[in-house]
Amino acid sequence: MSNNKLHVNRIHLHFLLKQMIRIRRFEERCVTLYNEEKIRGFLHLYNGEEAIAVGVMQALTAQDAVLATYREHGHALARGLSMDIVMAEMFGKASGCSGGRGGSMHLFDSSQRFYGGSAIVAGALPIAVGIALADKMLQNQAVTCCFFGDGAVAEGEFHESLNLAKLWQLPILFICENNLYAMGTALELEQSNQKIHLKAASYGLASQVIDGMNVVDVEAAAKLACSAIRNGAGPHFIECQTYRFRGHSMFDTQLYRNNDEVEQWKKKGPLIQLTQWLKDNHQIESDELQAIELAVDKEIDAAVRSADAAEIEPVENLLKHVYTEVSHG
Amino acid sequence: MSNNKLHVNRIHLHFLLKQMIRIRRFEERCVTLYNEEKIRGFLHLYNGEEAIAVGVMQALTAQDAVLATYREHGHALARGLSMDIVMAEMFGKASGCSGGRGGSMHLFDSSQRFYGGSAIVAGALPIAVGIALADKMLQNQAVTCCFFGDGAVAEGEFHESLNLAKLWQLPILFICENNLYAMGTALELEQSNQKIHLKAASYGLASQVIDGMNVVDVEAAAKLACSAIRNGAGPHFIECQTYRFRGHSMFDTQLYRNNDEVEQWKKKGPLIQLTQWLKDNHQIESDELQAIELAVDKEIDAAVRSADAAEIEPVENLLKHVYTEVSHG
Amino acid sequence: MDKITFREASRAGIAEALKDDSRVFLIGEDVGRYGGCYAVSKGLLDSFGAQRIIDAPLAEAGFVGAGIGAAIGGMRPIVEIMTVNFSLLALDQIINNAATLRHMSGGQISVPVVIRMSCGAGKQLAAQHSHSFEGLYAHIPGLKVLYPGTIGDARYMLKMALDDPDPVIIFEHVMLYNMEAELPEKQTIAPMEKAVIRRTGHDLSIITWGGCLYKAMDAAEQLKTLGIDAEVVDLRCLRPLDRVTILDSVRRTHKALIVDESWKSGGMSAEVSATIAELGLWYLDAPINRVCSAEVPIPYAYHLEQASLPQVAQIIAVAKQMMEPFNASIRDPL
Amino acid sequence: MDKITFREASRAGIAEALKDDSRVFLIGEDVGRYGGCYAVSKGLLDSFGAQRIIDAPLAEAGFVGAGIGAAIGGMRPIVEIMTVNFSLLALDQIINNAATLRHMSGGQISVPVVIRMSCGAGKQLAAQHSHSFEGLYAHIPGLKVLYPGTIGDARYMLKMALDDPDPVIIFEHVMLYNMEAELPEKQTIAPMEKAVIRRTGHDLSIITWGGCLYKAMDAAEQLKTLGIDAEVVDLRCLRPLDRVTILDSVRRTHKALIVDESWKSGGMSAEVSATIAELGLWYLDAPINRVCSAEVPIPYAYHLEQASLPQVAQIIAVAKQMMEPFNASIRDPL
Ligand SMILES: Cc1ncc(C[n+]2csc(CCOP(=O)(O)OP(=O)(O)O)c2C)c(N)n1
Ligand SMILES: Cc1ncc(C[n+]2csc(CCOP(=O)(O)OP(=O)(O)O)c2C)c(N)n1
Ligand SMILES: [Mg+2]
Ligand SMILES: [Mg+2]
């Protein structure tokens, strides 16, 4: 499967597969729940891109910080947020990971240093720079990992953040999920230079492009980058080439791409790729795969049930959390 | 003097020298006038950088558009705005090129397609992109030339503009006046990668770095770039290496650099360089030089006199030019 | 006559402008191939081609500034910022350039750009996607600010904006796009800078605009059944503000209730109130009231989101209160 | 006791914070080697070193966002935006991130960042360098907005802001930096969210803050000689707004005159007026008046700039008018 093999073993590969299946099936259930109007707002799904969040998270420790976009269910789950609190959040319930105030685009869990969930394209990058700056100043041995899309690269905030990160030699891992489209706008209409990793290199960052459909490659690249960062090598940039299998959000008629293209990419999908390799190499039995799928479905069912049953935040608390409740002065 | 010689002749070189002397002496007079409180607000002088505006303007036609920064007296004069209207503007008079409303940082002359005079660092770049876009759409054979400093390169608006310019293959000439400082912040504290022209190249722009102290080099590079642009080659980028001989503005104690550095650069100054070459090659007589200086001083004196005598805008007109005076609807 | 939606009305206005004037083009994120984030521009790429319907990269300062520059250069750009939330990234260009260039240049430079943006809450999009910033824009000299709240205005205000030589901002509330009504005749549409009384009444003036207009109309309808005859003033244009129409209405009704989807503190509602307190104080028989959004970043959960926004029931409740003789009395400061 | 300038007071506040708390650092354009655009931070680099006095590149969204992130990460950054004019480039970070993260995360994330910026007009810096946007910031739930107008507040409010767990914006008017006065004792300084009556009076309340405070005090002094006893209320904190103190003053004086350097339409003055019209209408013996900047991008020429800004003479003239019995009558709408 990969030249860049780590000490991957059967158990770890099964774990990676399970993580990706968790995300894929979670997203599929979200579609149903959206159609049932249990989930509302904008809903952006991660189908096809699972290998990135799952692979990268393997390189991170509990001390590290993670920031993502509005397409962040996968990152939240891979980071370790329970399905229960993520699902409850999307149901708008008080037990949701953001108290029902954030929804699909704003999942948070500060206990896991999971800092969202940002719906302004490129808007989390400067924040990531700041978190890394704080960790550096406080001499925390932490990496800040920031995920964003190819579209974000055109934003001024991207430019400013990369410059600052390198200038200050901060411990950041930038992960660009290049899925070739920003909503309906293809990469070649977004970027005068479509080689995103080269653009990052122009700031002096260590930068590379990898197959974002191959979870082992992603894990390997992220681990190398993180260990360099931990050794003081400054920010790293990884462009992960990937594709989203579904529309941008639930409101996308996908006029801008043809089905052939989608089908071609689906064949290279991260779940298919890993499953096939495991099967070809006799590293997984059908019943093992079924067991994984069953466990995942149970987990999702339980999350849906608990979200359904959860309480909503009392309306009296509408103004809560705008400011910290303290007295001072 | 330069390997990049054009068909330069004596008359043209005298003309270039005179233009640079006009700017230098104009700026020196501004210092006096500022101290006399005839000129107010922020005053940013162009001493040391004259070769850039003068050299580049030689490549432009009346159809071309020009945008500059708050350090734009030189550009205005080199573009052809009369000293009278520029000086009157800085005196805050109604006859000023912006009706007294703009001041030193906001010189305009739409009859010369001189679109200011912008006091937000990098703020004129998107506008330049738009003017070039309009010219392209209207099939005007015009180049838009946009001047800005090394500090502007760190701004998001720089990044967005370069990408758009190349993506849309627009007729723009970007001139970066790299004088090594953004106010008191040295280039190495501004840019993780200090090779600005390489950064521009990362967007796919044709890009080069030149000696901004050598007016003939500047003219040559600008002419080549403009002819390429006029032939449809898309945006070009020229980084001109230069130095400002005075403080950032009139409020600068210059704690951030030492005098040695300033003196070193002064020796490479554009006026000294060209004058010396002309003398060494017997291309200028002392009386010719004197005649130029005399003419320039006369021009400046006249401008000061006329600005002094000019009327101020009646206060009743305070609200004029906020909106166009038309009736519609 | 057939009904059309607000979305279709907006689209027809854009199409007409593109047809009538070769200097007009539409630029914005996903206006072309995707068909527009809220489908307003759907189909226009097919009709007008990629030269005139331009998909911009994610670079709000860049392409909005480019629109401003193109206007200076002689074109008549319609710039679409996907939503007002992202317009913060372009605010420097809009305020420091579009709004000032004419003045700073002593009248030499015209910036005939039109910038459209969707805005408002109600779709559970949470704090970063639900802003109402029209008050912020209406604060800026050099800009004009329109906010159509009817099908007729959605259809015809764009043309007026394009005919204006100065920069015009147009807001379109996301909850209005599916609203349907018959399209009125063009001649019946008031000039863009005039407020319009959408419903006459003599008991109180409900002053509103854009996304809250239909709520005010609903409330007025229900108030009628309670014997309260509310007048509804639709501002339509927030800068310049048609103070005459506001004052004229309050002079007749003696009571002013302002309905505004932005946060109460320092929103557009404050300026309407201040106008009356300054120029029409003696008309008043009751304190001016404002029904606005709660002072909270808009939450995702449906019940919280709805609780944070102005609602018909609230308008009715406050209006009723205002009609009670002594209720004009002092309440506790918030 | 010796006098110190507003600039020195600000600097002393910053120095104290740096000394007392190792989590505090100052970041902004030219705060270090250059000594600060308005020399506020001059000398601090020498005392505290480049790790704590950080010269940022020209990247307002970037370094302001970085300050927000560093606050989330456990530091106590003081971010200096050179002037409010450039803060438009960072507004997305301030509004969409700093102001919302606590709420969007259901209370999990604190953003204890302090953002200082100079602001205001009077130095002939023209349209792009003379803004007063405090009203805009005061509109945003999740932010607190301070605007010191005295030496004491310049000296001590920063500490209160840093002690606050939420994002605080501090404005410093460029014309105040050279103002001199004796430094009051720390204990005499009111809590940051309280308005302070700087001068008591019973004829009318002049409500103002920041850059206009000394103008209001001047005017009150002169009005005294005309037999008019004006009270001057210094708001100090524009969000949350101390409505109680405003209303309390107007209840006693029955007249409210608001002085604000931002443009009149939709500025902070509007909210103050609306507060009174809503909650204190029956206190009023005259229409609420506002003396604000003219609705024009601030011009360069001295006489035009001065004509565009609120002036002492204007405050006096309007105050006098307000004291005349029937002048409370209706004037022409603007
Ligand atoms: C500043 C900003 N502009 C526009 C949008 C609307 N928008 C949301 S996602 C998106 C596309 C982003 O594409 P990309 O960065 O490639 O991420 P992807 O959705 O492909 O994962 C756009 C235009 C936004 N949320 N923020
Ligand atoms: C957006 C913005 N930020 C900050 C400033 C304040 N400022 C004015 S000029 C300047 C330095 C710009 O340096 P550079 O681009 O290198 O141009 P130079 O002055 O050297 O010609 C700064 C920080 C500004 N005008 N605009
Ligand atoms: Mg993408
Ligand atoms: Mg420079």
Residues B152-158 have a mean pLDDT of 98
| Cβ atoms A318, C304 nearer than 8 A | yes
Nearest to B134 among C69, C92, C191 (CB): C69
Task: Looking at the complex, report in whole angstroms how far the Cα of residue B11 sits from the nearest Cα belonging to chain A.
Answer: 42
ipTM above 0.90? yes
CB spacing of B192 vs A204 below 8 angstroms? yes
Residues B179-189 have a mean pLDDT of 98
Residues B198-207 have a mean pLDDT of 96
Q: Is the CB of B120 under 6 A from ligand 2?
A: yes
Instruction: Note which residues in 43-62 of chain C have CB less than 8 A from chain B.
Output: 51, 56-57, 59, 61-62
Q: Give ion ligand 3 contacts, CB < 5 A.
A: A 149-150, 179, 182
How far apart CA C100 and CA C117 sit, in angstroms, is 20
CB spacing of C69 vs B130 below 8 angstroms? yes
Domains and CATH numbers, chain D: 3-186 (3.40.50.970), 196-323 (3.40.50.920)
3-state SS class at C188: helix
CA of B152 to the centre of ligand 4 (A): 8
Cβ-Cβ contacts under 8 Å, B156 against chain A: 155-160
How far apart CA C80 and CA C120 sit, in angstroms, is 15
How far apart CA B78 and CA B89 sit, in angstroms, is 16
How far apart CA B12 and CA B18 sit, in angstroms, is 10
Q: Is the CB of B158 under 6 A from ligand 2?
A: no
**pLDDT for position B7:** 59
Residue C309 above 60 pLDDT?
yes
Sheet of A172-178, strand order: A65-67, A144-149, A172-178, A236-241, A206-211
Q: What is the pLDDT of residues B222-265, one digit of tens each?
A: 999 999 999 999 999 999 999 999 999 998 999 999 999 999 99
Cβ-Cβ contacts under 8 Å, D50 against chain A: none
Q: In the predicted model, what is the mean pLDDT of chain C?
A: 96
Confidence of residue D326 (pLDDT cuts 50, 70, 90): low
Fold of A5-310: Rossmann fold (3.40.50)
Q: Is the CB of B152 under 6 A from ligand 2?
A: yes
DSSP state of B203: T
Give catalytic residue positions of C.
60, 129
Q: Which atom of ligand 2 is nearest to the CA of B44?
A: 19
Q: Which atom of ligand 1 is nearest to the CA of A119?
A: 25
Q: Is the CB of D86 under 6 A from ligand 2?
A: yes
Residue D327 above 70 pLDDT?
no
Residues D63-69 have a mean pLDDT of 98
Q: Which of D58, D88, D119, D174 to mutate to test the pocket of ligand 2 (most atoms within 8 A of CB)?
A: D58
Q: Given a contact as 3+ CB pairs under 8 Å, which chains touch C? A: A, B, D
Confidence of residue B103 (pLDDT cuts 50, 70, 90): very high
How far apart CA B238 and CA B210 sit, in angstroms, is 7
Task: Looking at the complex, report in whole angstroms how far the Cα of residue C179 sits from the nearest Cα belonging to chain D.
Answer: 29
Task: Looking at the complex, report in whole angstroms how far the Cα of residue A166 sits from the nearest Cα belonging to chain D.
Answer: 12
3-state SS class at A42: coil
DSSP state of B53: H
**pLDDT for position D329:** 45
Cβ-Cβ contacts under 8 Å, D142 against chain C: 297
Residues A236-258 have a mean pLDDT of 96
Per the structure block, which two tokens stand in for D6? Answer: 């507003």
Task: Compute the residue count for chain B.
Answer: 329
Which-ligand-closest: CA of C55?
Answer: 1
CA C109 to chain centre: 27
How far apart CA B69 and CA D25 sit, in angstroms, is 31
Per the structure block, which two tokens stand in for A61? Answer: 């420790």
How far apart CA C277 and CA D331 sit, in angstroms, is 12
Residue of C nearest to B121 (CA): C92
Kindly state whether C121 is in contact with chain B, defined as any CB-CB distance less than 8 angstroms.
Answer: no
Instruction: Note which residues in 235-294 of chain C have CB less than 8 A from chain B.
Output: none
Helix (H) or strand (E) holding C237: strand C237-239
**pLDDT for position D308:** 98
Q: What is the pLDDT of residues C123-135, one digit of tens each?
A: 999 999 999 999 9
Residues B56-85 have a mean pLDDT of 98
Q: Which of B193, B197, B198, B236 to mutate to test the interface with A (most CBs of A within 10 A)?
A: B193
**pLDDT for position A8:** 72
Residue B1 above 60 pLDDT?
no
Per the structure block, which two tokens stand in for B66? Answer: 């020009």
Residue of C nearest to D96 (CA): C128
**pLDDT for position C314:** 98
Per the structure block, which two tokens stand in for C304? Answer: 């919280």
How far apart CA B62 and CA B51 sit, in angstroms, is 20
How far apart CA D204 and CA D324 sit, in angstroms, is 12
Q: What is the pLDDT of residues A303-314, one digit of tens each?
A: 999 999 999 999
Which of D263, D273, D333, D270 is closest to C245 using CA atoms?
D333
| Cβ atoms C33, A182 nearer than 8 A | no
Kindly state whether D86 is in contact with chain B, defined as any CB-CB distance less than 8 angstroms.
Answer: yes
Kindly state whether A110 is in contact with chain D, defined as any CB-CB distance less than 8 angstroms.
Answer: yes
Per the structure block, which two tokens stand in for B248? Answer: 């950032």
Residue D2 above 90 pLDDT?
no
| Cβ atoms A169, A133 nearer than 8 A | no
**pLDDT for position A327:** 52
Dihedral Cα B176, B182, B185, B190, nearest 10 deg? -40
Cβ-Cβ contacts under 8 Å, C68 against chain D: none
How far apart CA C113 and CA C158 sit, in angstroms, is 11
Q: Which amino acid is at D112?
A: P
**pLDDT for position C325:** 78
Q: Give ion ligand 4 contacts, CB < 5 A.
A: B 149-150, 179, 182
CB spacing of C103 vs B135 below 8 angstroms? no
DSSP letter string, D185-206 = PGGGSPPTT--EEEE--SSEEE
For residue B54, CA distances in Å to B219, B267, C96 come to 8, 19, 28
How far apart CA D307 and CA D293 sit, in angstroms, is 9
Residue D330 above 80 pLDDT?
no
Q: Which protein residue's CA is at the shortest distance from atom 25 of ligand 2?
A: B120
Q: What is the pLDDT of residues D287-306, one digit of tens each?
A: 999 999 999 999 999 999 99
Residues C244-269 have a mean pLDDT of 98
Q: Which protein residue's CA is at the shortest distance from atom 8 of ligand 1?
A: A121
Residue D263 above 70 pLDDT?
yes
CA C64 to chain centre: 19
| Cβ atoms A157, B159 nearer than 8 A | no
**pLDDT for position D334:** 41
User: What is the pTM for the complete model shown?
Assistant: 0.97
Nearest to B256 among D34, D62, D296 (CB): D34
- The pair phi, psi for residue B236, each rounded to 5°, is -125, 155
How far apart CA C239 and CA C147 sit, in angstroms, is 10
Greatest alpha-carbon pair distance for chain C in Å reads: 63
The CA radius of gyration of chain D, in Å to the nearest whole number, is 20
Burial B86-103 (b: 16+ CB within 10 A, else e): bbbbbbbbbbbbbbbbbb
Which of A71, D101, B148, B183 is closest to C126 using CA atoms?
D101
Report the relative pairing of strands C53-55 and C3-5 from DSSP bridges: unpaired
For residue B121, CA distances in Å to B157, D41, D312 come to 9, 22, 34
Residue D146 above 50 pLDDT?
yes
CA of A63 to the centre of ligand 3 (A): 28
**pLDDT for position C2:** 86
Residue D333 above 60 pLDDT?
no
Cβ-Cβ contacts under 8 Å, C126 against chain A: 41, 101-103, 105-106, 119
Task: Looking at the complex, report in whole angstroms how far the Cα of residue A182 sits from the nearest Cα belonging to chain C.
Answer: 8
**pLDDT for position B329:** 40
Residue A271 above 80 pLDDT?
yes
Q: Is the CB of B151 under 6 A from ligand 2?
A: yes
**pLDDT for position D328:** 45
Q: What is the pLDDT of residues A205-235, one digit of tens each?
A: 999 999 999 999 999 999 999 999 999 999 9
Residue of B nearest to A162 (CA): B192
3-state SS class at D293: strand
Residue B4 above 50 pLDDT?
no
Residue D202 above 90 pLDDT?
yes
| Cβ atoms A64, A146 nearer than 8 A | no
Nearest to D109 among A115, A124, A322 (CB): A115
For residue B246, CA distances in Å to B47, B117, B250, B268 come to 7, 19, 9, 15
Q: Which atom of ligand 2 is nearest to the CA of B150?
A: 16
Bridge partners, residue A178, by sequence: A241
3-state SS class at B85: helix
Residue of D nearest to C239 (CA): D265
Confidence of residue C333 (pLDDT cuts 50, 70, 90): very low
Q: Dihedral sign, CA of A138, A142, A148, A150? A: positive
Cβ atoms < 10 Å from Cβ of C184 = 15
CB spacing of B163 vs A154 below 8 angstroms? yes
CB spacing of D138 vs C266 below 8 angstroms? yes
How far apart CA B207 and CA B163 sit, in angstroms, is 14
Residue of B nearest to D87 (CA): B120
**pLDDT for position A5:** 52
Residue C86 above 50 pLDDT?
yes
Q: Dihedral sign, CA of D268, D269, D272, D274? A: negative
Kindly state whether A156 is in contact with chain C, defined as any CB-CB distance less than 8 angstroms.
Answer: yes
